[in-house]
Amino acid sequence: MNPVLPFEWIVAWRFLREGRLQTLFIVTGIAIGVGVIVFMSALLAGLQANFVRRVLTAQPHIQLLPAKEVARPLGPPPGLARDAVEDALVQAPLQRTRSIDQWQGVAQQIRALGEVRVVSPEADGSALAVRGDASRAISIAGVDPAFYFHIVDVPSKIVAGQARLGPRDAIVGTELASDLGATVGDKLRLSAASGADLTLTVAGIVDLGSKGANQRTVYLSLHTAQSLLGLVGGVSSIGVTVGDVYAAEAVARRITAATGVEADSWITTNAQFFSAVSAQTTANTTIRVFVALSVAFGIASVLVVSVVQKSREIGILRAMGISRGQVLRVFLIEGGLLGLAGSVVGAAIALVALALWRRIAVNPDGSPLFPITMPPLLLLLALGVATVVGLLSALAPALRAARLDPVVAIRG
């Protein structure tokens, strides 16, 4: 007997060891349940983290946009009733590239918010890139590298040249560079719809990880873009990053409330993804609850059988002076140990499944489809929850054992 272990632990352990086959079966059952839960949770978390990472490495958490132009019906001419309107149909106005009103003040206001990390003013618009006979429609992103490169890490995505944005520099997407036959140092002419025209030098070529973005993105310095788009001194949007990405929506609402400028969080702009995640999470939670219930009933049934089988031994123990509390604890410990053992094996199963998944789910180039990690916290949580489930499910059989009348139990 281990001198460190108390009476209840020794008896619980020996009882479990005595019913080897029963113990093995229930531990296997618990392990499969826990393994499935842990693996599914890791997979789901990996999927979400991967999407969030992809989304947030290419866009700010919150984007402030100028208010849309709206057409207001004309008021009634003098002398006419208030509800007399010349025309019931109001034509939708054209949305011009406009600046955010008082954007310097707005940016300063946002920077003062505690959760905000980076505030990056941008002048965005569309133009035509021309080189020789080739021309492509492009999206201009006029940015201040000192801020914007903290939102999108452009320097790390540069495949040729450097992430330099001087007054006459442009950083272009790989596909666009290829379409225009441009390399680093080549000249590129950009024509805006307003008629403005600029000839710039390709300072760097960037791979943004998406073919569409690589086909049309051109980064310019903020001032260059402002001149080209006719937004002198103005910005068409302000990008914001926050400390907690999942708090972006709440921060966006606060910004709108404080500044009156429309602010869209990445959560709103990716609502479809979040509704899918929510559905997945609900399904996963439902599965978890039912697996936990089946594990609980499994443990309880094994322990109920064990109490019936051992009722005479329990009676004798009680006759020897073992208290009801000690008997209760023996069976609670049995339940807890079953839960713990099952979850340890289950966690191992999940880790093996994860290793297999990493081997099977790969891109054609051999890189993983998306990175999945098994956070230690998830494993600890699974161990803790399974042990608690074991303890709770052992409660009924343990109470039954503790309440056994020794006279009846001994008589059998």
Judged by the rule CB under 8 A, the positions of this chain that interact with other proteins are: 1-7, 10, 14-15, 17-18, 312-313, 315-324, 326, 406-407, 410
Closer residue to other proteins in complex, CB, 285/323: 323
Closer residue to other proteins in complex, CB, 196/319: 319
Closer residue to other proteins in complex, CB, 84/319: 319
Burial class of 39 by CB neighbour count within 10 A (0 to 12, 13 to 18, 19+): buried
Least Å from the CB of residue 393 to other proteins: 22
Least Å from the CB of residue 284 to other proteins: 40
* 3-state DSSP assignment of residue 362: strand
60: left (phi over 0), alpha (psi -120 to 50) or beta: beta
Candidates 187, 185, 191, 178; CA nearest to 230 is 191
Whether 153 and 208 have beta carbons less than 8 Å apart is answered as: no
Phi, psi of 291 (to 5 degrees): -65, -45
Least Å from the CB of residue 321 to other proteins: 2
Closer residue to other proteins in complex, CB, 287/410: 410
Closer residue to other proteins in complex, CB, 81/320: 320
Least Å from the CB of residue 43 to other proteins: 41
Within 57-169, residue ranges assigned H as helices are: 103-111, 145-148, 154-157
Least Å from the CB of residue 287 to other proteins: 37
Closer residue to other proteins in complex, CB, 271/320: 320
Least Å from the CB of residue 301 to other proteins: 20
Token pair 């969030």 is found at 52
Closer residue to other proteins in complex, CB, 305/407: 407
Query: How far is the C-alpha of 36 from the C-alpha of 350, rounded, in Å?
Result: 7
Whether 163 and 171 have beta carbons less than 8 Å apart is answered as: yes
Least Å from the CB of residue 271 to other proteins: 59
Whether 255 and 261 have beta carbons less than 8 Å apart is answered as: yes
* 3-state DSSP assignment of residue 74: coil
Task: Report CA-CA distances (Å) from 149 to 41, 219, 351.
Answer: 33, 11, 37
User: What angle, 0 to 180 degrees and rounded to 10, lies between the N-to-C axes of helices 7-18 and 324-360?
Assistant: 60
Whether 69 and 313 have beta carbons less than 8 Å apart is answered as: no
Closer residue to other proteins in complex, CB, 5/293: 5
Bridge-partner residues for 243, per DSSP? none
Closer residue to other proteins in complex, CB, 185/325: 325
Burial class of 155 by CB neighbour count within 10 A (0 to 12, 13 to 18, 19+): middle
Query: How far is the C-alpha of 16 from the C-alpha of 96, rounded, in Å?
Result: 76
Least Å from the CB of residue 397 to other proteins: 17
Least Å from the CB of residue 328 to other proteins: 13
Q: Which two tokens stand for residue 360?
A: 């099977």
Least Å from the CB of residue 295 to other proteins: 25
* 3-state DSSP assignment of residue 291: helix
Closer residue to other proteins in complex, CB, 308/361: 308
Whether 229 and 97 have beta carbons less than 8 Å apart is answered as: yes
Task: Report CA-CA distances (Å) from 215 to 39, 140, 173.
Answer: 38, 12, 6
Q: Which two tokens stand for residue 129?
A: 């890139």
